[in-house]
Structure 1
Amino acid sequence: MSETSRDALRERALKLDAADPLAPQRELFALDDGVYLDGNSLGALPLHVPDRVRDVLTRQWGELRIRSWDESGWWTAPERIGDRIAPLVGAAAGQIVVGDSTSVNIFKAVVAGSRLADRPDGGPSVHDGGPSVHDGGPSARDGGRDEILVDATTFPTDGYIAASAARLTGRRIVPVDPAEVRAALGPRTAVVLLNHVDYRSGRLHDLPGLTADVHAAGAIAVWDLCHSAGALPVALDEHQVDLAVGCTYKYLNGGPGSPAYLYVAQRHQAAFDSPLPGWNSHADPFGMTPDYTPADGSVRGRVGTPDIVSMLTLDAALDVWDGVSVAAVRAKSLALTDFFLECVEAYVPPGRVSSVTPAAHAERGSQVALRCADAEPVMRRLIERGVVGDLRRPDVLRFGFTPLYVGFADAERAARVLAEVLADVPGENPAA
């Protein structure tokens, strides 16, 4: 590629950054002079968070101590922070509770979803005024809805948890490629667990269409939002999703191991039967009674004592979303990934990498995955040169584009350094 063409791409990147309405958000994060493209694994630290956490440790815990459960709002933090996440995933208040890990919340959702499908009265309605979840048909106990469909390409933990939930509820797991879900649905389907965005390829699945199909089959739809929340519109309420889970340490920047969240649609809350009925979800948690009576609303998703330090770290991190439109984030995400792919095509010799991320905007999340025969040494050298992505063995380079702090100059530089690294790596087998 000529130097003139390289200069043209660099100049374009600078112009795009200058016109970017989200560019000021970058100043809110702790970043170095490298290019950080791994926010789809761990989001960058918002600069104000350490001071907020210091207050939690020194004043709320150090001075107020036990009083902070009331005076600092610790007790209601899971629902209050859930309400802050709600607009980012298109949910009204009162439907999201924060706490536990993604894996634990998947377990709650899949088992509770199975129990909803088992309800002899058909459970609460999937659509307001429409048919019920189950339409009063047979349950798993009499050979009816005895299947849990799970994304065969899913992050492994989702599959492990779903398999355990199937054993617990007397069902069998049916692994299905997301493209084959519609054909696999039927009268035996109880629950369908799907990823909104594939963690390897960055493929965005059709949440509205697939949710409608699951409902038409009389089943419960459970969505994993780990790679979509904070990167693109989700619209849980609009598309009448039943249950959803997600982590907060990726695009929501909550910090390593920050607590996950569980969404329970309002119409299902009265019947939501958690497989982990801890004291925190009791209607009278301090009554310490031997019998369990579930609380009303999203509180039912709680289990034990909340992890307050991590939870309030997340609460502080969510401040970077104040005044930010998810639609603007999505527009920039698509523009960034388009531009990066254009730069890769311009800079990288033919045959060394190939994109496994869909070109179509309707099918793309906020990452670009490139197949590369020498992925491990290539990513190692990229990181050494300040371009931080990650890889999925054996041959996928992943680059996550977090619109709040990644710019177009970052995208151009990453593609340019990738080409330079590939020139130094022999590459015995070109990408397929």
Structure 2
Amino acid sequence: MTTLDEVRGWDAADPLGAFRARFRLPEGVIYLDGNSLGALPHATAARMRDAIEREWGDALVRSWNDAGWVEAPARVGAKIARLIGAEADEVIVANSTTVDLFKLAIAAAGLRDGAIVAERDNFPTDSYVGSAAAALIGRAFRAVPAGESARALTADVAVAILTHVDYRTAVRHDMAALNGAARASDTKIVWDLSHSVGAVPLDLHRDGVELAVGCGYKYLNGGPGAPAFLYVARHLQSRIASPIAGWWSHAAPFDFAADYRAAPGIARFAAGTPPMLGLLALESGVDLMLEADPHMLWAKSIRLYDLFAERLAQRCPDLAIVSPADAGRRGSHISIAHPNALAIVRALTARGVIGDFRTPDIARFGLTPLYLSFTDIWNAVETLADVMDRAEWRDPRFSQGGVVT
């Protein structure tokens, strides 16, 4: 059985431990919701002040050239490419995850006739987009359970939208195996990497990924509503077209030509003027992530999970973990099912342990190795045990009202 002294020793020897000081983390708070909104890096606050006061305030419009704003979507995309096993010219930052997903779903459907498929039980935006895209272009739409994704990749399916890591349970798809099945049926998979990037090892080339989108404000610590990124394998870029023809994706945007001509390469998947402040905040988060060894990050994530699971079994044996015990089959969060999960999460939040709730009965705790300590996990489970022992979740303050985000 692991002891608190051992846990403190792990923290003292943690090769990633120094990263914690580079984030603004409120005193008395254990933050286990970085898979919903990443913590604020100190460097981001400084970068924002410079962007607002000097680049925007002093240089004004000149900063599009002088400060490199024009190049930022491709520049930040190239940095993200290093995190996901892609080439620099295969990733661009553009729009929100939802808009990027729509663009790639429509673009992939243009390659051949066939239905659009999405997972029924995963993050609902993916199926919302899939259904709307199918209706727009006159295709059939099918929502399938996540566990039946492989069987759904039939010859009459043109596009499948799949989430790599389940947002509720942390169950992770076998990306390479599903891509192999998709190739056999000539189906294009658009992968949603929102709960993967910056959290679990990714190598899109190795695993045969052709199309993907990902979120900037979770493990990449890009800030609330940070712009998303999209990935298109180089061999597909000239074969598919974005359904949103904006001036920023034109081959010569500053010619202001009357007729649209798509830019070559990944730039054709941009659209309108990029949101520069959000993009520069995202770049700060990505730069920080690039300093960390990804193998160390994943190794620490596994140890954080194992400690949480061990302590939970000892202190709260009646609580059921619904995330896979096998690290190769999960992402970087741990989820517990309980009929009163919402009230439990609220009671924990009142005690300074911030996780989140997902319907219908999931208490979810993000494991972010850059800034979480092993002692954080120990103390979080101790607090959870006390909340359960005292039945604090029965307090009407926590059992009534709206949901928590």
Q: Distance in 2 between matches of 1:412 and 1:426?
A: 20
Task: Note if 1:336 corresponds to 2:330.
Answer: no
Amino acid in structure 2 at the alignment position of 1:421: V
Q: Distance in 2 between matches of 1:288 and 1:302?
A: 16
Q: Distance in 2 between matches of 1:401 and 1:296?
A: 39
Amino acid in structure 2 at the alignment position of 1:198: D
Amino acid in structure 1 at the alignment position of 2:268: R
- Written as runs of structure 1 = structure 2, the 5 A alignment for 1:11-160 is 11-32=5-26, 33-116=28-111, 118=112, 140=113, 146-160=114-128
Helix, strand or coil at the partner of 2:118: strand
Q: CA deviation at 1:355?
A: 0.7
Moved more, 180-189 or 104-113: 180-189
Q: Distance in 2 between matches of 1:65 and 1:194?
A: 42
Q: What's the TM-score, normalizing by structure 1?
A: 0.89
- Written as runs of structure 1 = structure 2, the 5 A alignment for 1:1-400 is 9-32=3-26, 33-116=28-111, 118=112, 140=113, 146-348=114-316, 350-351=317-318, 353-400=319-366
Q: Which residue of structure 1 aligns with residue 402 of structure 2?
A: none
Amino acid in structure 1 at the alignment position of 2:210: D
Q: Distance in 1 between matches of 2:42 and 2:266?
A: 31
Q: CA deviation at 1:377?
A: 1.8
Ranges in structure 1 where 5+ consecutive residues have no aligned partner? 119-139, 141-145
CA deviation string 1:232-252 (max 9, x = no partner): 111112222111001110000
Amino acid in structure 2 at the alignment position of 1:399: F
Amino acid in structure 2 at the alignment position of 1:115: G
Ranges in structure 2 where 5+ consecutive residues have no aligned partner? 395-405
Q: Distance in 2 between matches of 1:201 and 1:403?
A: 19
* Poorly superposed stretches of 4+, deviation over 6 Å: none
Helix, strand or coil at the partner of 1:94: helix
Question: Given that residues 272 and 300 in structure 1 are in contact (C-alpha distance below 8 angstroms), is that contact kept between their aligned partners in structure 2?
Answer: no
Q: Distance in 1 between matches of 2:203 and 2:191?
A: 12
Question: Given that residues 90 and 233 in structure 1 are in contact (C-alpha distance below 8 angstroms), is that contact kept between their aligned partners in structure 2?
Answer: no
Which entry has the higher C-alpha Rg, 1 or 2?
1
Q: CA deviation at 1:62?
A: 1.1
Amino acid in structure 1 at the alignment position of 2:384: L
CA deviation string 1:67-104 (max 9, x = no partner): 11111111110000001111111111111110210000
Q: Distance in 2 between matches of 1:306 and 1:412?
A: 42
Question: Given that residues 97 and 261 in structure 1 are in contact (C-alpha distance below 8 angstroms), is that contact kept between their aligned partners in structure 2?
Answer: yes
Question: Given that residues 34 and 219 in structure 2 are in contact (C-alpha distance below 8 angstroms), is that contact kept between their aligned partners in structure 1?
Answer: yes
Q: Distance in 1 between matches of 2:240 and 2:214?
A: 18
Helix, strand or coil at the partner of 1:262: strand
CA deviation string 1:376-423 (max 9, x = no partner): 221111111111101113321000000000111111111111000011
Amino acid in structure 1 at the alignment position of 2:18: P
Question: Given that residues 347 and 392 in structure 2 are in contact (C-alpha distance below 8 angstroms), is that contact kept between their aligned partners in structure 1?
Answer: no
Count of residue pairs the alignment pairs up: 393
CA deviation string 1:338-387 (max 9, x = no partner): 11010011111x32x20110111111110001011221221111111111
Q: CA deviation at 1:427?
A: 7.8
Q: Distance in 1 between matches of 2:83 and 2:266?
A: 17
Q: Distance in 2 between matches of 1:50 and 1:182?
A: 44
Amino acid in structure 2 at the alignment position of 1:184: A
Question: Given that residues 46 and 317 in structure 1 are in contact (C-alpha distance below 8 angstroms), is that contact kept between their aligned partners in structure 2?
Answer: yes
Question: Given that residues 110 and 165 in structure 1 are in contact (C-alpha distance below 8 angstroms), is that contact kept between their aligned partners in structure 2?
Answer: yes
Q: What is the identity percentage for the equivalent residue pairs of Structure 1 and Structure 2?
A: 42
| Aligned alpha-carbon RMSD (Å) | 1.4
